[in-house]
Amino acid sequence: MSPLRLRDLSGIPDYKPGKAAPASSRGPAPFKLSSNENPYPPLRSVTEALNGSAALVNRYPETAASDLTRELCTRFAVEPAQLVLGSGSVEIVSQLIRATAGEGDEVVFAWRSFEAYPMLTLAAGAVPVRVPLTADHRHDLDAMLAAITERTRLVLVCNPNNPTGTVVTRDELDRFLGQVPPDVTVVIDEAYVQFNRHADSPQGIDYFRRHPNVAVAHTFSKAYGLAGLRVGYALAPVQLAAAMRKVALPFGVTALAQAAAVASLRAEDELAERVEHLVRERTRVTRALAEQGWRLPRTEANFLWFPLGGHTMAAAAEFETHGLLVRPFAGEGFRVTIAEVEANDAVIKAARSVRDAGLYD
Ligand SMILES: *Cc1c(COP(=O)(O)O)cnc(C)c1O
């Protein structure tokens, strides 16, 4: 049998999904804290909207997504021509990369940041340029600026950053955008914006309004709790938005996803309470860990970053014995989602064991 002639994809890492709870296991029931999901079940109004749309699944979704587009345009005071929907904001990032960068063009982002960035860049045939985070786990915007070349088409700024939870400040972003060439697109990926309480951190929408080369990516997966439905969107300059639609996955946002997203936007007060609860839990866990002597980067997202270096995998195994599945990056650290109270209590206990085992110095 002769091998198929495929593209050379050997440079693209496989996507590692957050570890799922095993079907059966001994020990405490595992909490999946590896994908930054919302621990709450869908709101009743969302389930009702899904039930209402279920009878239509023999039809293709309406590609214009008029209801969802109208809701979002009203909320952000933008034109439909400036709004693009995608099958999760992962697809939005993919559209942004493929609309701006082709073979040999460069996409600049911080590292470590969202795992999908290098994969999506390589899949587009473009070249990822990874700019190391600062020693305190933050974007180094000066170094990112210095990394921009003639070949740079896109810069991704993940704020708050996945997996470290850190933010850029308005001053840093102002200085950065003041120097980025005007024909280079800057994307602010705000997957966790609803959890960000940092007084000096920028809101992407303000920058989208002021800078003609800025786009913002948002998702319904995290604060809105619709990760399983796959819906995200970008606010983008008209010219870029039109290009994104050309490379978008056809029918990428299902009618179910549209209906649930609209219902969520209309139930925002209820969802905001849930987010507030998770933020309070984040504060509680952060304080308990500080009392144990942990010095973790200040997080503005629904997760914590444990910079454990060479102890990462051993510490992740220790968390697993406490029934906690985390997202480890060997040699660097692991990310733990803030979830239900019981899971967070277990995180505090597991962190204590990791310290007692001498896995943090
Ligand atoms: C989770 C996440 C996304 C979005 O995921 P979707 O489920 O595809 O909307 C985008 N960017 C970052 C940084 C994320 O962590």
39 Cβ closer than 6 Å to some ligand 1 atom:
no
Distance from the alpha carbon of residue 292 to the mean position of ligand 1, in angstroms: 31
The pLDDT of residue 91 is above 70: yes
Q: Tell me the pLDDT band of 63, cut-offs 50, 70 and 90.
A: confident
Using a 10 angstrom Cβ sphere, with 0-12 exposed, 13-18 middle and 19 or more buried, the burial of residue 101 is buried
DSSP letters of 216-284? EEEESSSTT--GGG--EEEE--HHHHHHHHHHSPTT-S-HHHHHHHHHHHHTHHHHHHHHHHHHHHHHH
Q: Are strands 324-325 and 31-32 parallel, antiparallel or unpaired?
A: parallel
CA dist 281 and 345 (Å) reads 10
Radius of gyration of the chain (CA): 21
89 Cβ closer than 6 Å to some ligand 1 atom:
yes
190 Cβ closer than 6 Å to some ligand 1 atom:
no
The predicted structure's pLDDT at residue 14 = 79
162 Cβ closer than 6 Å to some ligand 1 atom:
yes
Distance from the alpha carbon of residue 3 to the mean position of ligand 1, in angstroms: 35
The predicted structure's pLDDT at residue 57 = 94
189 Cβ closer than 6 Å to some ligand 1 atom:
yes
236 Cβ closer than 6 Å to some ligand 1 atom:
no
Cα dist. 135→231, 350, 351 in Å? 34, 25, 22
Q: Tell me the pLDDT band of 2, cut-offs 50, 70 and 90.
A: confident
The answer to whether residues 184 and 214 touch, using CB atoms and an 8 Å cutoff, is no
Distance from the alpha carbon of residue 191 to the mean position of ligand 1, in angstroms: 5
Cα dist. 329→12, 74, 324 in Å? 17, 40, 16
The pLDDT of residue 195 is above 80: yes
90 Cβ closer than 6 Å to some ligand 1 atom:
yes
The pLDDT of residue 315 is above 80: yes
The pLDDT of residue 184 is above 80: yes
Stretch (H or E) spanning 145: helix 141-146
The pLDDT of residue 180 is above 90: yes
The predicted structure's pLDDT at residue 21 = 65
Which amino acid, 137? H
Distance from the alpha carbon of residue 32 to the mean position of ligand 1, in angstroms: 17
The predicted structure's pLDDT at residue 22 = 63
The predicted structure's pLDDT at residue 19 = 72
CA dist 84 and 91 (Å) reads 11
Nearest CA to ligand 1 atom 1: 191
Nearest CA to ligand 1 atom 2: 191
Nearest CA to ligand 1 atom 6: 88
